[in-house]
Amino acid sequence: MEAQGERLLQDLVKQEKSLVLKVEEAKAKAKQTLEKAHADAARTVQEARARADAEAEETAQAAAKEAASIREEVVKSAREAAEALEAKATANQSAAVSVVMEKVLP
């Protein structure tokens, strides 16, 4: 009876050691999984930042290009208006000189 009890006790100790080993392995695996998840998350965040930065740069370049195009259009329009006024002034110059001369020299 005592031998059987001793054997049961040894079996229990063996099972306990086996369970402790399994728990340690599970902890190690959980730690490894957690570390991998952290690394994956960090990589994903870094990739997202890189994509966001690239998109922001692309949007900024497109906006700058559009602003330059609008600026050129405004300058072109102003130049055309100035040229039209100059042409009108030139065309009316001789008439203005005539009116002034009539007033000055009766």
CA–CA distances in Å: residue 58 to residues 29, 61, 62, 106: 43, 5, 6, 71
pLDDT-derived band at 106 (thresholds 50, 70, 90) equals low
Cα 79 to chain centroid distance, Å, stands at 38
Evaluate if residue 67 carries a pLDDT over 90.
yes
SS3 89: helix
Ranges 6-15, 48-57, 92-101: which has the least confidence: 92-101
Evaluate if residue 79 carries a pLDDT over 90.
yes
Q: Taking residues 13-32, what's their average pLDDT?
A: 96
Task: Kindly report the average pLDDT of the chain as a whole number.
Answer: 92
Mark 75-84 as b/e (b = at least 16 C-beta within 10 Å): eeeeeeeeee
Evaluate if residue 29 carries a pLDDT over 70.
yes
Q: Where are the domains of the chain?
A: 1-75
